[in-house]
Amino acid sequence: MTGRRRRRDRAIQIVTLAITAIALVLLIRHARSVDWPQVWQALAGYRLHEVTTAAALAALSYLLYCSYELGARHYAGHGLSTRRTMLIGFTCYAFSLNIGALIGGGGFRLRLYSHSGLRAGAIGRIVAFAVSTNWSGYLVLAGGVLIAQPIVLPQGAASIAGRVLGLAMLVVAAAYLFACARWHDRAWHLRGHAFKLPSLRMALLQLGLSSANWLTIAALLFVLLQQRIDYPTVLGVLLLAAVAAAVTHIPAGLGALEAIFLAMLGERVAQPELLAALLAYRAIYYLGPLLLAAIAYLAFESGAVRRRGPHPDDVG
């Protein structure tokens, strides 16, 4: 059984590396054909209110990410202060988006929460809650998008398959809510760790926060695209790009995001303007918060951020 699992994991790694390599090659080839002076001109053409609106939407998105962490605090039952919990959440999400979920979301949480006094069991519950929150809203929105199909898909089998997949996503989300309503008091065991599902009320909160966050990110891109594309289409392309970025495991989804947007919207928006919007998105939503998160992380490491609230050593 172990040998079979190893072969399966190796096959997954090979496929992932192949997809990543193809994406990078395509990105490099495409970058050579871009008229970069026109892209910089399009970037310079953004008006102040568009940039400030996009920055405000980015701030709202990170605030929602921090709300995931506050929900996880209630679920895990730890006693860290709201301020410290939100700072850890902001730092982890900024690093996660830029360098990958395994290191950013997992590694940074482990370090910052363990230094704050939490034990591995509580940290594991926090990570599980955050991940399930993020993807619960995704399932509902992506399912709805695939059924409504604001993105132009080939007619026939592909269109039908998309609607079937969308329905399956909604069924999975509904099953999660049902399980939380029915069995949230039951202890489940996975690889030697015991956990409980959140209550239905908490699961609905997860769904609401996550859906609001994905909708906010799409609104940010909608603003940077200067409303040239209708909002439902921008949302659909974003959700598709999120999966592509997760599959390739490239830090920040570099290349995957651009490839999906260029493939889906390249005939509707001029290439320089589309690339300018994506570059502005990366600067506002990725690099800016990363700089602030790096400062916050240094404050944690230097001890400038003090732990407040009840000592959580009894958690875990």
Classify 89 as helix, strand or coil: helix
Q: Find all residues with CB under 8 Å of 207, minimum gap 6, and list them.
A: 136, 137, 140, 173, 177
Q: What is the DSSP string of 165-180?
A: HHHHHHHHHHHHHHHH
pLDDT, position 310: 42
Alpha-carbon gap, residue 235 to 188, rounded angstroms: 35
Alpha-carbon gap, residue 114 to 288, rounded angstroms: 26
pLDDT in tens, 30-88: 566 566 688 888 899 999 999 999 999 999 999 999 999 999 999 999 999 999 999 99
Q: Report yes or no: 64 and 214 within 8 Å, Cβ to Cβ.
A: no
Q: What is the DSSP string of 221-270?
A: HHHHTTTSS-HHHHHHHHHHHHHHHHHH--GGGTTHHHHHHHHHHTTTS-
Mean pLDDT of all residues belonging to the chain: 85
- Which residue has tokens 């605090």? 73
Q: Averaging pLDDT over each range in 20-34, 150-164, 174-188, which range is the top one?
A: 174-188
Number of helices followed by number of strands (H, E) in the chain: 12, 2
Delimit the domains of the chain by residue range.
34-132+184-302
Q: Residue 216 — pLDDT band, cuts 50, 70, 90?
A: very high
Which pair of structure tokens corresponds to residue 52?
């400030």
Alpha-carbon gap, residue 181 to 203, rounded angstroms: 9
| C-beta contacts of 174-183 below 8 A and 24+ residues apart | 176/132, 176/136, 176/203, 177/203, 177/204, 177/207
pLDDT, position 290: 94
Q: What is the DSSP string of 29-62?
A: HHHHHS-HHHHHHHHHT--HHHHHHHHHHHHHHH
Mean pLDDT of 231-259: 84
pLDDT of 314 > 60? The answer is no
pLDDT of 141 > 50? The answer is yes
- Among 21-30, 125-134, 206-215, 284-293, the minimum mean pLDDT is found in 21-30
pLDDT of 245 > 90? The answer is no
Q: How many Å is the Cα radius of gyration of the chain? A: 21
